[in-house]
Amino acid sequence: MSGLRAGWRHEASFRLEAMLTVILVPLGLWVGNGALEKIALVSPVILVLSVELLNSAIEAVVDKVSPEFHELAGRAKDMGSAAVFLLLVLVVLCWGLILGPRWF
């Protein structure tokens, strides 16, 4: 729980994604037809929060170990951010593939 509190307290992106999670998880459970659709709508959203926390942890460790700029430190931070981005793409893809045909 202290990790969740730290993420909420120190990471603006985590707060934004947590607020989206509060909206999207109940919505996904409501609009999903059957267990598999509900899992496909909810799981990626929760994974975004998990990977955001891991990304924030990587950034904190990198800043602690190497406060000055280093190519490897920048690469580690960029790769963590890329992981979050790819999961956000997965969220959009899952929601679009499942709900898109119903709405259009």
Summarised one tens digit per residue, pLDDT across range 50-79 is 999 999 999 999 988 887 888 888 899 999
Contact of 70 with 64, CB cutoff 8 Å? no
- List, in order of start, the domains of the chain with CATH numbers: 2-103 (1.10.287.3610)
Instruction: Point out the catalytic residue in the list 11, 52, 68, 71.
Output: 52
Cβ contacts of residue 73 below 8 Å, gap of 6+? 62, 65, 66
Q: How many CB atoms lie within 10 A of CB 34?
A: 8
Is 17 known to be catalytic? no
- Dump pLDDT digits (tens) for 88-98: 999 999 999 99
Its pTM stands at 0.86
Token look-up 């793409």 returns 89
